[in-house]
């Protein structure tokens, strides 16, 4: 089955800096890669996703890149703000109504 | 749109009792609902996949007789934790995918904090 590795487990940056979180996956059939942000005690919220027919996607300060050959994808947050502080999870799956496998999460702290 | 609710948000029960958690898609029909368990400072661990009108598919290591799942309609799935024990204390979250839309995006409920005394 699918296995998703996520690094780093914790990341601390200064406000205004960029943050990068990386994930690798094992199943070459996976074609849907979402990123979720979860604040303490809250539900995960989708912040961006990418499908295998696209190499990069951007939404304002957030971007995701995908390298299908290497089976890795990354989340990039630019101009970080304190409110970006949260736990971020990557996931991989087949899309549609298929299940997602989640990485272990990255706790991002943005220091003012 | 695509709002998922869960009830209750918080429950405390005695060891040996059963607890039912409801997951509802409020403004859409959900082909599939998923149940996750999340321990403190850990990731979401998928427990089972629930399809309307059919038996749930459980992940390896999850006891189907302990965690009963019923998906009676396209908007409601329930998880019953039977004979709960303190080690079952966790944050239980459901999610749903849109019917007939193959995006893969999962919409999460707000979670249920279960504490077993």
- Tens of pLDDT, residue by residue over A50-81, are 998 889 999 999 999 999 999 999 999 999 99
Contact A105 B42 (CB under 8 A): yes
Please report the pLDDT score of residue B68 as a whole number: 96
Residue-averaged pLDDT of chain A: 95
Provide the shortest C-alpha distance from residue A100 to chain B (in Å). Answer: 8
CA angle, corner B80, sides to B79 and B82, nearest 5?
150
Contact B108 A41 (CB under 8 A): no
pLDDT > 70? residue B100: no
- pLDDT digits over B58-75, tens only? 999 999 999 999 988 889
Which residues lie across from B8 on neighbouring strands?
Answer: none
Chain B CA closest to residue A47: B105
B-interface mutation test, from A47, A99, A105, most B Cβ less than 10 A away: A99
pLDDT > 80? residue A46: yes
Contact B43 A98 (CB under 8 A): no
**Which runs of E-coded beta strand occur in chain B?**
4-7, 10-13, 19-25, 30-38, 45-51, 57-58, 67-73, 76-81, 90-98, 107-108, 112-116
A68 in contact with chain B, both atoms CB, cutoff 8 A: no
pLDDT > 80? residue B101: no
| Percent of chain B predicted with pLDDT > 90 | 76
pLDDT > 70? residue B16: yes
């Amino acid at each position: 089955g699918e296995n998703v590795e996520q690094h780093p487990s914790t990341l601390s940056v200064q406000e205004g800096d960029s943050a990068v979180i990386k994930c690798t996956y094992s199943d070459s059939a996976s074609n849907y890669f979402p990123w979720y942000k979860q604040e303490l005690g809250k539900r995960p919220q989708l912040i961006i996703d990418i499908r295998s027919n696209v190499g990069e996607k951007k939404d304002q300060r957030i971007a995701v890149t995908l390298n299908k050959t290497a089976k890795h994808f990354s989340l990039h947050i630019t101009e970080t703000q304190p409110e970006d502080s949260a736990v971020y999870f990557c996931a991989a799956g087949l899309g549609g109504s298929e299940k997602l496998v989640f990485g272990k999460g990255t706790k991002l702290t943005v220091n003012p | 749109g695509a709002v998922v609710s869960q009830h209750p948000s918080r429950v405390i029960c005695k060891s040996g009792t059963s607890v039912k958690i409801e997951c509802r898609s409020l403004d859409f029909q959900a082909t599939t609902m998923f149940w996750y368990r999340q321990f403190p400072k850990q990731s979401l661990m998928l427990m089972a996949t629930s399809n309307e009108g059919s038996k749930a598919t459980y992940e390896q290591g999850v006891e189907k007789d302990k965690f009963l799942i019923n998906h009676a309609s396209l908007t409601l799935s329930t998880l019953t934790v039977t004979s709960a024990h303190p080690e079952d204390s966790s944050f239980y979250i459901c999610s749903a995918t849109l019917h007939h839309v193959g995006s893969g995006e999962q919409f999460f409920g707000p979670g249920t904090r279960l504490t077993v005394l």
